[in-house]
Structure 1
Amino acid sequence: MHFYGTQSVNGKGHLTIGGVDTVDLAQIYGTPLIVYDIALFRERARAFKETFKSAGVQAQVAYASKAFSSIAIYEVAQQEGLSLDVVSGGELYTAVAAGFPRERIHFHGNNKSFMELQYAFDEKIGCIVIDNFSEIALVKEIAESRKENMNVLIRVTPGVHASTHDFITTGQEDSKFGFDLKNGQADEAFRQLHDHPYIQLLGMHCHIGSQIFETDAFRLAAEALLDKMESWRDEYGFVCTVLNLGGGFGIRYTEEDRPLHPSAYVDEMAKVVLSMTRSANYPMPEIWIEPGRSLIGDAGTTLYTTGSMKEVPNIRTYVAVDGGMTDNIRPALYGAKYTAVTANRVNDAHEDKVTIAGKCCESGDKLIEEAYLASPSEGDILAVFCTGAYNYSMASNYNRLPKPAVVFCENGEHRLAVRRETYEDLIRLDLSLQAVERGAVN
């Protein structure tokens, strides 16, 4: 059985996280409950930063917070000296509420609204990553009307196809993101931006996908961007000061996954950039990366309480839990796989093959098709590992189920980071027919 971070088993045979008994957590906070191992998040953040430092490379490590966005996790990211990648006005608002340093906030997204861009200017954030020609026009309009400066990066698609699921591949030519390097779009975006009086073009950005287990694709992407940087220098005398190579570093969801250590990805990036800039006599740019899943993914564990069970003779046994696709849509969305353990009886033999089903009214609401548990019974506490990324952030209220609570554990202590939604929360924005008839608009 593979444990993550500070996970262990105590004398009661219970799973512990950050030195805290998960059975106790389930009793205190209820289930479903997402538990974060904050020490593991800190460890990963420091590993990325230290690898760049050891390579002698100036860098920013930005937490890609779409993986999990909350005030408390932004506060931890700030404590660790990370920068922050946000992709919406809502994530930016959360960062502002957390007091995150504005100069270390980078704003992404393929369809930023005029209001979101104005908000970015209002907060004087560190950088906008420009994704398309419409956005160029909007950023110019805002900058010129206010006579205010803004740093920008051009997001490009380098034509690199990473080995991952098609739904989370973003670096190929056929992508909704960025300017294509091969068809001239990136060059046209550069021409529209590099000489603007209020826009400071820092360089380029790319992101080739998610849950990637090899370094070849990152090397190819870096080489493509560096070639373009050299051509802009030779033709226009422009030198990029920032090269953002994105994120997408894989983690271990199951025993089948073979992720590399975070340092392996960073080492390869630094090696390519150092080599190519030296051979081209090009000033070394600051490298930015945007790990999200690889910082937070395996730091999260979801606790459920098991309920009904159904045996279908000669086919399978279903074990239902009190959550499902409302707190983890990934298995239904693109077949994501997970590993689970019976948290209240970790030391018992996990030999019963079952399907872990959610409680939503959908046949496809199955969290794990083939899980091995310790002779399941109603009331067990089930722990599903590696639910820290894209679980709470993609949670919904389908079937009017409240979103789960989130707890941070570290050094034997636990604290509530996001409270559990109540039934009252579910109807807070609802209007009665009478209110609608009165013409309510807000």
Structure 2
Amino acid sequence: MTEAPTKKPTSTRTPFFTRLYTGTGAFDIVGKRKRWYVMFGVLMLICIGSIIFRGFHLGIEFEGGTKLQLPARNAAGPITTEQVTDVFSETLGRDPASVQLVGTGETTSIQVKSEALNVGDVVRVNQALVEQLNPIAADGDTGSDVISDSAVSGSWGGEISRQALIALGVFLVLVTIFLAMYFERWMAVAALTALIHDVVITSGLYSLVGFEVTPATVIGLLTILGFSLYDTVVVFDKVKENTRGLLGLTRRTYGEAANLALNQTLMRSINTSLIALLPVVGLMVVGVGLLGVGTLKDLALVQLTGMTIGAMSSIFLATPLLVDLKMRDPRFQQQAARVRNRRENLARKAAEREAAVAVTGEPIAVDLSDDETLESELRQEKAMAAASSVPARNPKAADAKRGRPAGKAAGARPSRPTGKKRR
């Protein structure tokens, strides 16, 4: 006699991408906020330490220096940046700050940036480049005339930095006022904390890796501020909708409602970040790899770093921080206690039912008051969410709000009774 094959239990776990797409609160982001705090805190300390002790690799626009520019071709073909670097190093005994291609086609040139050089050093470098590389301009000219040199003052970069700091301060003040008026005080505090985090982390990564800081870097740093706030405002708007009237309900705590809002907007945040990063990656590939424009590299690099950090902070930092700030309010603490008491009551009743069934084998009467209260709160939650997102479309209700009689057009005159007039 053969035994019947046993069926393997089917897995009831919902696939990862299904949970991500449906946004039913399957990812407990707010509940694990302590680990996010530790992760971002360690990263912040590393970046701040690098900024203080290591500093930044500033370009000549900030420190001052000399800039040389020569055509990128000669009679034998194109001139490479490595050849120019070798000639510069052999002539002066030190390496240039940067050597990069600028322009496209026949107008392509090589730009050399170094620390400030005196007149003798500039003449020696020019002669060495002409003798060893013999660059040819687009119009066919050769010799030292095709090589241009200029001195760059550090005061220009300092002026850009001051203007950038002023712009940053004005931006933060205006954003604080807007968020405090549109949302509330603690949402403004959480959003600004995430914004400062993004600026510090992006700046710290530049310090750690040693990327050169140019005016294009400063401009790119200012552009990521709006993106960082955009995603945070979207999440906070959903949190505001989910927590409307929460103090009178016992279905969810503030943290659970905020976590649900994060899950409901998680797919949107990921899609928005990916779509925003694609043009930046294209800017790096085309602008740097194909065109060889150094300014585009500086701009794209800071945007790529800042947008990635901004997307992470809007998900893992801003909303968890908001929950901790809101839970300092005694009203939300009492509401969370009522939620716990209701759940403990339901768990106790369920355990009593199971114990009674195990003893007598028959179900016992169940008090449905808690279930009915939960269903009522669920209907109330849905009604408030619908009222906040869908405008009223009932003309009678709209007329009643404006004080007009229902069923009559505005300005209509009452009809007169038919019949003869009395004399």
The answer, yes or no, to whether TM exceeds 0.5 is: no
TM-score if structure 1 supplies the norm length?
0.24
The structure with more helix, counted as a fraction of residues: 2
The structure with more strand, counted as a fraction of residues: 1
